[in-house]
Amino acid sequence: MSSVIESGKIIRKKRTPYEDEVYYEMHFLDETYLEDMMYLQDIVIHNLSDKEIFRRHSIDYIRAHFERENSVIGIFTEDGIIAYNVLYFPGAEGDNFGADINLPADELNKVVHLETVAVHPDYRGNSLQKRMEEIHLEKIREFDCIHVCCTVSPKNLPSLRNLLSNGLIIKCLKLKFGGKVRFIMHQQSRY
């Protein structure tokens, strides 16, 4: 595991009337955490009241994101991995959200996606998504990208608020991923 990016205390909400304050550490991850990430994805999906707001990814899809160093962040407590955030570099071909918002063709290879965020239900409300995205937004200058794009379900208000608070703006509403309604969000790098 890489050195600690951030650490501190967060609240763990148990499925009882009690809450605990627990120590956490944030790290950049490598592929050794892939199985743990897939397990967390299943927990997140299982606990959603509306499964439409989260996009399930295959293990091979997530594995491909480890090709670039520092493109996956994870947060750990005594419970193991409790959150992760993934960057994706779509290139000029394929499903590049920059094309959805009509970026010039010669800039599509400068787009990075804030691709996937998962937070364990017991740890929601600690701004973990916002924190991980802030770290990744700072890192994009190292990746030679000038556009950050992502999708979010209009029904996923916590994620939408986090993205807006990190400076992304809604550019359009589209059907993506087999007919799911998504906002396409964008931020041009300040660097």
- Please tell me the predicted confidence (pLDDT) of residue 75: 98
pTM, full prediction: 0.92
CA 43 to chain CA centroid, Å, is: 16
Asked whether residue 180 is assigned to any structural domain, the reply reads yes
Is the pLDDT confidence value at 175 over 90? Answer: yes
162 vs 70: CA distance, rounded Å: 21
Class of residue 161 by CB neighbours under 10 A (exposed 0-12, middle 13-18, buried 19+): middle
Mean of the per-residue pLDDT values of the chain? 91
Which amino acid is present at 69? E
Asked whether residue 154 is assigned to any structural domain, the reply reads yes
Sole residue written with tokens 């956490």: 24
Asked whether residue 1 is assigned to any structural domain, the reply reads no
Strand partners, 147: 111, 188
Tell me which of 140 and 156 has the higher pLDDT. Answer: 156
Asked whether residue 11 is assigned to any structural domain, the reply reads yes
Of the pLDDT bands very low, low, confident and very high (cuts 50, 70, 90), residue 16 is: low
CA distances to 83, 97, 109, 134, 181 from 60, in Å: 19, 21, 22, 26, 24
Asked whether residue 27 is assigned to any structural domain, the reply reads yes
Q: Express each pLDDT in 106-123 by its tens digit.
A: 999 999 999 899 999 999
Q: How many domains does the chain have?
A: 1
Q: Express each pLDDT in 46-56 by its tens digit.
A: 999 888 888 89
Asked whether residue 39 is assigned to any structural domain, the reply reads yes
- Please tell me the predicted confidence (pLDDT) of residue 52: 87
Of the pLDDT bands very low, low, confident and very high (cuts 50, 70, 90), residue 142 is: confident
Best CA proximity match to 137, nearest among 56, 70, 41: 70
Is the pLDDT confidence value at 149 over 80? Answer: yes
- H/E run at residue 27: strand 19-28
- Please tell me the predicted confidence (pLDDT) of residue 83: 98
Tell me which of 152 and 142 has the higher pLDDT. Answer: 152
Residue 167 sits at φ, ψ, to 5 deg, of 95, 5
CATH of the domain at 94: 3.40.630.30
Domain membership of residue 29 as a residue range: 6-188
68 vs 87: CA distance, rounded Å: 9
Of the pLDDT bands very low, low, confident and very high (cuts 50, 70, 90), residue 17 is: low
Q: Express each pLDDT in 37-93 by its tens digit.
A: 999 999 999 999 888 888 899 999 899 889 888 999 999 999 999 999 999 999 887
Of the pLDDT bands very low, low, confident and very high (cuts 50, 70, 90), residue 140 is: confident
Asked whether residue 40 is assigned to any structural domain, the reply reads yes
